[in-house]
Structure 1
């Protein structure tokens, strides 16, 4: 039997357990709540002279845009494949995560610029207003984050969660700063907290940026060991060698694999491929696998 090109997934895997979950309602609620809060927070930040409130409002605005991007990508990922986009639009979730990281970088630059300016020229701040408005922000941001708590396996949803969870912590910092200003009258506390906000955002952004760039470059997804998969395939009965093994993310939740198995005794049958499919999906979280069986190796590069 000559070389055969076989797909290791059958009809029983059509749904794929790692398909994007439906967070449409969560996104809608989060966008409405945070848009309203951005307007209120920016207005009171201007009235009270609080750079910390304005900085937090700017970050919240970037979060609204991030939620919109993530929602749009999750909807696009569910669209059916076309003749040109044969995988559909699944990878739009990766692009959304990368864009969200970019938005955060822009927000960091804008907030840092204004914070340094305020440090050079301190202004009077109404600590009580800061504390009250930021306290409302804690409730809104923590509540929105909770809506995305169950989707942590998806970097696109995780990005939305991290945005909102970080905002809740930042709002807590603004509350503390407002109370400190109220008690001490020291105006430098406001820009100092703004600077701390920038550091918190930067810390969260680095992880999101690193993961989204890796996915964009088709790196093996986190949590999957290329060596473990290769050892599993090489250890199958009748397999002499494994080459052209590639593992890459199709989206933020779905992973694909292609591999050539050298089997001198020939093709072992569909049951063999079905067992590989089951093992890869349930033990390695790889839902789209394509296996080519060869009697002799025909390495096409990257073996």
Structure 2
């Protein structure tokens, strides 16, 4: 981050050129690998891998929305974050629904492919999270982008662990349990994003920025 960036108040941290570059990198990484991992999820039959792929694609979409919102007012940035939070909540509920379906038609995923795609995803997301670490503080829109990327990294680690447990136990249950954990992480972060967005909307309504 440049000296000029350091002189900006916290509320303007999201408009720096460094943040723009970081968002473009995150968008490219997440959309690109999200598509790859979704294919891998169908090939391996892993519900956790499909859930993680959805998180990748959602993260790319949210990062792009955050990029578009850079020049917007605080109120509209807060509304953007609110949309992001609601979208993440829908993803979480969707993962829970598809996981419940898989429980009724239980089949064991291919642990080797699941672990391979999960390990690559973890590496991709560690890069994305590292790019965003200097930009994790700011308004609700900025924090939403950071939470999406952080969730991806945690989800990827969980998928790798699940793959090992599927291979070790010879059952699909570790994969399904991890999918539920990832869904819970989605919902918790969605609540945090929505709460922050509402706080920013309140600040904008009272003319604090």
TM-score by length of 2: 0.88
1:55 and 2:51 are equivalent in the alignment: yes
Q: Show the counterpart of 2:154.
A: 169
Tell me which of 117, 121, 138 is aligned to 1:137: 121
1:100 Cα deviation from its structure 2 partner? 0.5
Residue aligned with 2:15, SS: coil
Counterpart CA distance in 1 for 2:32 and 2:170 is 30
Contiguous gaps of at least 5 residues in structure 2:
1-6
Q: Is the 8 A contact 1:97 1:155 kept in 2?
A: yes
Correspondence for 2:3? none
Q: Report how far residue 190 of structure 1 moved.
A: 1.2
Matched, 1:119 2:115: no
Question: CA separation of 1:168/1:16 partners in 2, compared to 1, >3 Å: closer, same or farther?
Answer: closer
| Cα separation, 2, equivalents of 1:17 and 1:66 | 24
Matches within 5 A, 1:242-261: 248-249=203-204, 256-257=207-208
Q: 1:16 to 1:196 in 2, by over 3 A?
A: closer
Residue 17 (structure 1) aligned with residue 9 (structure 2): yes
Partner residue in 2 for 1:237: none
Q: Helix, strand or coil for the counterpart of 1:39?
A: helix
**Whole-Å separation in 2 of the counterparts to 1:150 and 1:97:** 19
Q: For the residues of structure 2 that align with 1:159 and 1:146, how far apart are their CA atoms?
A: 16
Contact 1:148-1:157 at 8 Å conserved across structures: no
- Flag the structure with more relative contact order, 1 or 2, with Cα contacts below 8 A and sequence separation at least 6: 2
- 142-151 or 159-168, larger mean C-alpha shift: 142-151
Matching residue within 22, 29, 52 for 2:25: 29
Higher strand fraction (1 or 2)? 1
Give the ranges of 4+ consecutive aligned residues of structure 1 lying more than 3 Å apart after TM superposition.
none
Is the CA contact (8 Å cut-off) linking 2:139 and 2:200 kept in structure 1? no
The 1:190–1:132 alpha-carbon spacing in structure 2 relative to 1, beyond 3 Å, is same
Q: CA RMSD in A?
A: 1.8
**Distance of 1:102 and 1:92 partners within structure 2:** 15
Structure number with larger C-alpha Rg: 1
Tell me, in whole angstroms, the C-alpha distance in 1 between the residues paired with 2:180 and 2:165. 16
Partners in 2 of 1:65 and 1:143 — Cα distance? 17
* Equivalent residues of 1:145, 1:162 under 8 A apart: no
Question: Following the alignment from structure 1 to structure 2, what is the Cα–Cα distance between the partners of residues 113 and 41?
Answer: 20
Give the superposition deviation at 1:164: 0.6
Give the drift of 1:155.
2.4
1:213 aligns to what? 198
Q: State the alpha-carbon separation in 1 of the partners of residues 9 and 97 from structure 2.
A: 45
Distance in 1 between the 2:118 and 2:90 partners? 22
Contact 1:48 1:130 (8 Å CA) reproduced: yes
Residue 70 of structure 1: aligned partner? 66
Residues 81-139 of structure 1: per-residue CA shift (max 9 Å, x gap)? xxxxxxxx343211111110011011112111100001111112111111111111111
Alpha-carbon separation, structure 2, partners of 1:16 and 1:33 = 28
